[in-house]
Amino acid sequence: MPRPQKPASPFRYFHSSPEVIRLVVMMYVRFPLSLRNVEDLLFERGIDLCHETVRLWWNRFGPLFAADIRR
């Protein structure tokens, strides 16, 4: 009997933890910050990211998080 497959995680190809990705996207969406401001705030917390990474994650995971919030 075949096993039922789990849905694939949207974070599976990223080297950062899902918690960091969620924090970055929520900081950018929730507060009126620029991409570089988010980059600076994360650097102060010890997370070294490029502002382009913030943009990439926002484009990729923003709609997913918005759908979760709407549910």
Domain map (residue ranges) of the chain:
18-70
Using CA atoms, how far apart are residues 5 and 50, in angstroms rounded to an integer? 35
Q: What is the pLDDT of residues 6-54, one digit of tens each?
A: 777 878 877 888 899 989 999 998 899 999 999 999 999 999 999 999 9
pTM, to two decimals: 0.78
Q: From residue 51, how far is each of 31, 57, 68 by CA, in Å?
A: 16, 10, 24
Using CA atoms, how far apart are residues 64 and 22, in angstroms rounded to an integer? 10
Using CA atoms, how far apart are residues 2 and 54, in angstroms rounded to an integer? 39
